[in-house]
Each structure stands twice: as C-alpha cells, then as structure tokens.
Chains A and B, each alone.
Chain A
Amino acid sequence: MTIEVQGVRRAFGDVLAVDSISLTAAPGEVTALIGPNGSGKTTLLLMLATLLVPDQGAIRIDGLDPVTQPTEVRARIGWMPDGFGTWDALTVREVLHTVAAAYRIPPDRARARTQELLATVHLEDLGDRRARVLSRGQKQRLGLARALINDPSVLLLDEPASGLDPRSRIELRDVLRALAAQGKTVLVSSHILTELQEVADRAVIVARGRSLQTQRLDDDFVSTGTASWRIDSLDLSRLTDWLADHHVPARRVGGGLTEVEVSGEENAARLLADVVRDGIRVTTFAPSQGALETAYLAATEDRR
C-alpha cells in the first residue's frame, strides 16, 4: 500500500502548481507533507485522490495508477479535503450513510460502521443534528470520519488539524497513530509543525512545487538536529558575555530571553551544565523551535 510519487508536475494554465515532487510514503508510517501556502500540497493530494491527471511524472498507489485505474485506487484510499464541505441539509449520520452507499457498503454494515466512526471522532451526540449546525472543527472531524468510512488502506489528509481545538488535535494525533499501527499508509499535509513532529515518522518538505528534502523524524533526528533553545537568566549580562566568550551563536529575543542555536540534545544539555557551573542563575532552558520547525525554516528560507 505504498504511495510512490515520481517527478510529478502539474500546471493550471500559466500557473505551475506542482513543478517536480517526488516522495514515498510507506505503510505503517505517518508521512507529513509540509510547505508554505501555495507550495503545491493540495494539488498533489488532488492528483493522489484520482481527481487530477499529472502533466508529467508517475504516481503509484499500491502499484496502481490513479489515472488509468481510478476505481481500483478509489476503493483503497480515503481522502479528506482541505475545508471539507458537506451536505448541509443532511444529518451527520445521513452524511456518513450516503458516503457509505456511494462506496457500495450494504446498509446494515454502513450503520455499524457509522456508529463506530462517530465514536472515533467523538460526534455521537451530534449524530442526528444537521451538518449545518456543526462548527468548523466538528466538520473537520466529520470529514475524517467520511474519509475512513470505506476502511481505506491509504489515507490522504489535507490540513486535518485546521480549526480543531487542542483536545481534538491530540485525539487526531492518536487516531492517526492508531491507523498507522494498523499498517495503513497515512499522508498528512499540515502547517502545524510541532504537532507533526509528534505524529509523523517522516516529513517531506515542499516549496514552490518542488520536494526539497525528506526528513526522518525519529529519535535520532530529534537528538542530533539543530534546534533553538531559549534561556532566561537572572544574570542577563553575564550570560551574554559568557555566550560571546564561548562562541555560542546567540541573539536576544523579546522578554529578556536569549536564543541559542545548538545541534543535538546532547550539546544542549552540556551547554546548560556549563552555564550553571559558571554560576549563572538560569531560570528557564527550553527548546523554542522543534527540530522539524528548524529544518522547515532552513529549507524554505529562500522564499524571502
């Protein structure tokens, strides 16, 4: 159930939405697609969701070509679009029943599956309410349930966390991890990097329609990647001098905080120990950016 994308390109008239994106998403993993607005993430997902033909390049989902075998691919994927629209006049339960019928799921199984998914996305008490009354976050959760109705082995999620409250985000994270644990391939595009770092196994950074790099997000990456740390100290001037003496790249940020760039947790721990040993009273020592965030900012820096 691997997703393979090889040198895909797609233009809309004069606008080149996707220039050249290549990626691989493996089963049992959550792959994150990150990039600035307009970098071609949604267009790529539309091509994966069998809605759009790439101008160039090849896509294989479980070895199947979405262009020539759309029906076979559709049976295997679940797609959650960005800004999920829904049939406002229908109740939440009817929306899911309709989609189940569209997947040719028999009515009794559709009912059972709907009940199960409403529990998964915590919409049971809203099951008989019109979809119109749902808030944006609740609609997103309904969109997730819709994408899962046919028990897909490949899940394509476009900005699933937008509009979700903190609890829903944590629950979404758990749902995605559970799906990956079942051996499904999960491809999720998002802006919320700190969340992704916790849920994704791999991140593909795209900018201007090109895939820039693929980053594994395992413990190794976290412990060795360059990250920013924020230090608050009661002896601010002494800390600044100390950092200058020891050639640690540092800059002052708001609120009397100092930010330093350190590669790897090992080095960060050593820095803290050295600072404290030299009698500087440190009150806060915390990562300001995740390693993913730093990697993302570095990769997309030329945008400015």
Chain B
Amino acid sequence: MSWDGMMTVATLELRQRVRTSKWPIVLAVWVAIIALVAFLSYWATNDADLRSGESMYDIVIFFVLGLAMLIVPSLTATSVNGDREHGVLATLQTTLLTHWDIVMGKLVAAWVISMTFLVTAMPFMAWAWFEGGVRGDKIALSVVVLMLVLAVVCALGLMFSTLTARPIASAVLTYLTMGALVFGTTIGFALSAFLVTGEEKIQVFGIPDNWYETHQPPAVDPADPTLTPEQIDQLNKAGQPTPADCTTFTRTVTLAHTERIWWMLPLNPFVVVADAAPSEPRKRGDQYSSGFTPLRWISLGARSARNGPSAQATDECAMLTNTGDTGFTDPSENALKTAPVWPYGLAFLLVAGSGAAVVAGRRLRTPIRRLPNGTRIA
C-alpha cells in the first residue's frame, strides 16, 4: 500500500461523489433535521431545573449518531460491487494500484464524507457548550469516539460490498448488521437477563424479617390518658427496632447477575458514544435534577449492569444507627463513578472494523483464483 495510490483512489471516489447531485441535498436535509432537533430540545428543556446545555448536548449527539448510522452505510455498502457492475473496478485492478490502495482509498473517501456530516453538526454542539453544563473535553472525547465509530461503520459496509455480487444485497446486509449492533445487543441483553436471574441466599446484617411479628406492641391504646409519659415512651419503643436488635441472618432474594451478560451492551455504538461522555449529574440543593439526559441514562444503565448486584453482605443496620439520610447515596449515581464500559465497546468495534477492512482487501486481491457465484470481474 502506498500513500499516493490510496490518495488516487480516494480523490477519484470523492470527485465522483461530489459531482452526483444528491449528496448536497442529503447534507442539507441532515443539517435541517439536526437544527430542528437542537432548537426543539433547547425550547423543551429551557428552564432552571432542566438545564438546557446538558439535554441539548445529549439529544444532539444522540441524533447525530442515529442519523449517521442511517446515512453512512450507504456511502460504502455498494462501493465495490457497484463499481463491478459499472465495469470500472477491473480497470483499476490492472494498474499498479494494489488491492490495499483500492480498499483504503475507498474507506478514506467514505470516512471523509461522513466527517462532513459530523462537522456540520458541530455548531449545534458548540451551542450546547455555550448553554453550559457540558465540559469541552467531554465534547471533544465524544466527537473522537463518534469519528471512530463512523469509520467502523464505513469499513463494515465496504466489506459487505466485496462479499456480495449485487449492491442491494450488500446494502441490506450492512443495515442488518447496524440493526444487530444497535437493537440486537439490547434485545439480547434483555432476553438473556432471565437466564442469569435466580433466587439466592444472601447474608444480611440487620433486623430479621420476622422481628415485627415477634415484637407485637402490647394491646394498649397509646392515647389512654391514664398512662404516664414513661409508659408512652416505652410503648412507642416497643414497636421500633433498635441497633441492639440487629443480627446476621440469611435471606432468600431474587438477583439478576447482569455482570455475566453486560458485555453485550458496550457492543452497541450508542452505548459506546453515550458512555464515553456522559454529562455530569448536577446537584441542586439536596436533590439531583439532571433533566432529560438520555446519554447519561444509557451510561449508568450499562455501568450498573456491569457492576451487577452487590456481592458483600448488606448492612441494613447502618440505616438505624445513622440519623438522617447523610449515609445514603443514589446507587445509579454511584454506578457513574465506577470504571467506564466504552473502552471495551470501542475496542470491539475497532477490531471488527479492521477485520472488515482486511476481509475487503483480501476480496479485491487479483489475480482471482476462486470466483464467487454471480460475480463478474470486468
């Protein structure tokens, strides 16, 4: 592979793409949709409790990824078999270009075009940043992750276009793969959740479940005017457990061990992008008011699934000894503080993308020994 050869193919692809008139229209529709989404999310979330910066950012990123996953496959999914049908692939293969030049050139061209979609969405992300609540480095990270995810999508489409003879077949296969990654992983996770759910005995340190049954308060009306204040106090305490009542016992509970199946979630590009840059939870007084932040919900869902149910013996007595709710923390917010899951997902997608590019390269190698059914050479 050489730089010049790759650029020759990339230039050729881009030139053809730019001259066919439908791409500017697609780009205009794209900008219009993203702008509409950004404006609507701005108006919908523009109040003090639902700070619009975070929500806008989440919604815009969500749409950019979703729409890009619809548009980008069409850039490469018919690239190679379309060229074969037009009889222009073999004329490149008989030149000094190698099969890697052709594959990488096509990949680079498709990626550059998908970048123009990302770049036109940038002003709306900048707007979210100006609204506040989103850190610049988070935006940068999610854009980088988006760029890599789109490159993987391009590579998958390119691979399918080398595997099938007809462009329609490779387009369908590419969209099916996108569907498997986005919906398949989520559905797979949900369906296999029952396989890892079961009744288990766990150690609990706290008030035994039968404490209330064995400690029935005496059948005396506390409103009885004949009782002394000491007696009323004793009566009240008799119905309430104290830390002294805490023991260690075994309880049978239903647990879902999602830590065994969590790996399905980060295969989803949405989880990868969402988890790479969840917006910070914002504390308002004592309460969390994070507003409409789909990326953060996806992120904490994936991380909670990875963490699974707590393995330690639960200490329920702590709630009795502490006064107030100072010791209590929201488990989902705790999950956001644990290690991220997106590096696994991104690593998987990058391996899949590189594998797809290698397959595509091998399929373009000439001279061909075995010709797949229905494929024409020139």
Residue B323 at the chain A interface, CB threshold 8 Å = no
In the bound assembly, the distance between CA atoms of A94 and B8 in angstroms comes to 12
Check if B15 sits within 8 Å of A89, measured CB to CB.
yes
Residues of the B chain whose Cβ atoms lie less than 8 Å from the Cβ of A81? 87, 90-91, 378
Closest to A86 in B: B88
Could you tell me the distance between the alpha carbons of A101 and B373 in the complex, rounded to whole angstroms?
A: 32
What is the CB-to-nearest-CB distance from A101 to chain B, in angstroms, rounded to a whole number?
4
Residue A103 interfacial (CB < 8 Å): yes
CB of B93 within 8 Å of the partner chain: yes
B12 within 8 Å of A (CB atoms) = yes
Count of chain A residues with Cβ under 8 Å from any Cβ of B?
36
Q: How many A-B residue pairs have CB under 8 A?
A: 88
Q: Is residue A250 within 8 Å, beta carbon to beta carbon, of the partner chain?
A: no
- Whether B355 sits at the interface, judged by CB under 8 Å, is no
Q: Which of A67, A88, A94, A99 contacts B367 (CB 8 A)?
A: A67
Q: Which of A13, A79, A85 contacts B94 (CB 8 A)?
A: A79
Contact A99 B90 (CB under 8 A): no
Closest CB in chain B relative to A117 CB, distance in Å: 15
A101 partner, pick from B8, B93, B94, B367, beta carbons under 8 A: B8
Per the 8 Å Cβ criterion, residues 350-372 of B in contact with A are: 366-369, 371
Note all chain A residues with C-beta closer than 8 A to B90.
49, 51, 81
Q: Is residue B4 within 8 Å, beta carbon to beta carbon, of the partner chain?
A: yes
Given known contacts A90-B16, A94-B15, A102 and B96 CB-to-CB distance under 8 angstroms: yes
**Cβ–Cβ < 8 Å partners of B98 in chain A:** 71
Which residues of A sit under 8 angstroms from B93, Cβ to Cβ?
A: 51
Given A51-B90, A81-B91, also A12-B19 (CB < 8 A) = no
Let me know if B367 and A103 touch, CB within 8 A.
no
> What CA separation (Å) do A81 and B90 show in the bound complex?
9
Asked, given contacts A50-B366, A70-B366, whether A85 binds B20 with beta carbons under 8 Å apart, the answer is no
Contact B368 A53 (CB under 8 A): yes
Chain A nearest CB from B229 CB (Å) reads 95
Contact with B along A75-105 (1 / 0, CB 8 A): 1010101111111111000100011011110
The CA of A13 and the CA of B375, in the complex, are separated in Å by: 12
Residues of A within 8 A of B378 (CB): 46, 51, 81-82
> Within the assembled complex, what's the spacing in Å between the Cα atoms of A240 and B95?
60
Q: Return A158 CB to nearest CB of chain B, in Å.
A: 9
Cβ of A74 within 8 Å of any chain B Cβ, yes or no, is: yes
Q: How near does chain B come to A5, taking the closest CB pair, in angstroms?
A: 14
CA distance A139 to B238 in the complex (A): 100
B88 touches A70 (CB 8 A): no
Q: Which among B5, B16, B86, B366 has the highest number of chain A CB atoms within 10 Å?
A: B366
**Do B88 and A74 touch across chains, with their CB atoms under 8 A apart?**
no
A13 to chain B: closest residue by CB: B373
Question: Is A295 at the interface (CB under 8 A from chain B)?
Answer: no
- Please, how many angstroms separate the alpha-carbon atoms of A198 and B92 in the complex? 32
| A52 interface residue per 8 A CB criterion | yes
Closest-CB distance, B10 to chain A (whole angstroms): 11
> B residues within 8 A CB of A102?
5, 8-9, 92, 95-97
A103 to B91, CA, bound (A): 11
B96 and A85 contact, CB distance less than 8 A? no
The bracket for how many chain B residues form the interface is 20 to 34
User: What is the CB-to-nearest-CB distance from A150 to chain B, in angstroms, rounded to a whole number?
Assistant: 8
Assess the B96–A71 pair: CB atoms within 8 A. Answer: yes
What is the 8 Å Cβ interface bit string for chain A, positions 37-77, against chain B (1 contact, 0 not)? 00000000011011111000000000000110011001101
B65-82 interface (Cβ within 8 A of A): none
Shortest Cβ distance from residue B25 to the other chain A in the assembled complex, whole angstroms: 16
Min distance, Cβ A285 to any Cβ of chain B, angstroms: 45
Residues 216-230 of A at the B interface (beta carbon under 8 Å): none
CB of B72, distance to nearest CB on chain A (Å): 21
Q: Please determine whether B367 and A50 come into contact, CB atoms closer than 8 angstroms.
A: yes
Contact B20 A75 (CB under 8 A): no
Q: Is the CB of A77 within 8 A of B15?
A: no
Within A148-168, the residues touching B (CB, 8 Å) are 150
Name the contact of A104 in the complex, choosing from B4, B86, B87, B369 (C-beta under 8 A): B4
Q: What mask results when residues 8 to 25 of chain A are scored 1 for a CB within 8 Å of chain B, else 0?
A: 000011000000000000
Assembly CA distance A74 to B5 (angstroms):
15
- Chain A contacts for B88, CB-based, 8 A: 85-87
A83 near B367: Cβ-Cβ < 8 Å: no
Give CA–CA (A217, B9) in the complex, Å.
43
Contact between chains at B94 and A52 (CB < 8 Å): no
| Cβ-based interface call for A141 (8 A) | no
Q: Which residue of B lies closest to A80 (CB)?
A: B91
B169 at the interface (CB under 8 A from A): no
Does A53 lie within 8 Å of B369, measured CB to CB? yes
Any chain A CB within 8 A of the CB of B255? no
Residues of B within 8 A of A13 (CB): 373
A158 to B305, CA, bound (A): 63
Interface residues of B in 290-342 (CB under 8 A from A): none
Q: Which 10 A-B pairs have the closest CB atoms?
A: A85-B87, A102-B95, A89-B19, A101-B8, A81-B378, A53-B367, A89-B16, A53-B369, A85-B86, A85-B88
Residues of chain B at the chain A interface (Cβ within 8 Å): 4-5, 8-9, 11-12, 15-16, 19-20, 86-88, 90-98, 366-369, 371, 373, 377-378
Q: A13-B373, A77-B94, A89-B20 are in contact. List 15 more A-B contacts (CB 8 A).
A: A47-B367, A50-B366, A50-B367, A53-B367, A53-B369, A74-B96, A79-B94, A84-B91, A88-B86, A90-B15, A90-B16, A90-B19, A98-B8, A99-B91, A104-B96
